[in-house]
């Protein structure tokens, strides 16, 4: 699993194009445009699950001691492979730049 951080529209587009990340722009409340990235950042969790789609029931994002903890609570466990390829499953997490201001590390966990 890899976690990418996008602070700008350019960074976001570069990651989406490089890893062929597919997402439905219309399924989100906001557009990932320049205005959006003025106050927000996106963490892209790109993992190596395949086979069954992992169904996320809920998630938690906590900033504690300069570490952002992202926890996904899932209903269906995912199968794992040793290598990460384009188009594999992933998740987009949006936080405000103020929330993530002093973060030095991002930890992701699936439960």
- pLDDT tens, position by position, 4-47: 999 999 999 998 888 777 776 776 777 889 999 999 999 988 77
Q: What is the pLDDT of residues 82-107, one digit of tens each?
A: 555 555 566 788 999 999 999 999 99
Distances (CA, A) of 93 to 4, 51, 81, 82: 10, 22, 23, 24
* 65, pLDDT greater than 80: yes
d(CA 104, CA 111): 23
pLDDT at 7: 95
100-103 CB contacts, 8 Å cutoff, 24+ apart: 100/41, 100/63, 100/68, 102/66, 103/63, 103/66, 103/67, 103/68
């Amino acid at each position: 699993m890899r976690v990418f951080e996008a602070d700008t529209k350019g960074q976001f587009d570069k990651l989406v194009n490089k890893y062929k990340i597919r997402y439905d722009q219309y399924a989100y409340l906001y557009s990932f445009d320049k205005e959006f990235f003025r106050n927000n950042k996106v963490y892209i969790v790109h993992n190596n699950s395949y086979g069954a789609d992992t169904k996320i029931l809920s998630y938690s994002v906590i900033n504690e001691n300069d570490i952002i903890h992202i926890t996904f609570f899932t209903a269906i466990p995912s199968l794992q492979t040793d290598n990460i390829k384009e188009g594999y499953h992933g998740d987009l997490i949006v936080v405000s730049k103020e929330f993530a201001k002093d973060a030095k590390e991002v930890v992701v966990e699936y439960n």
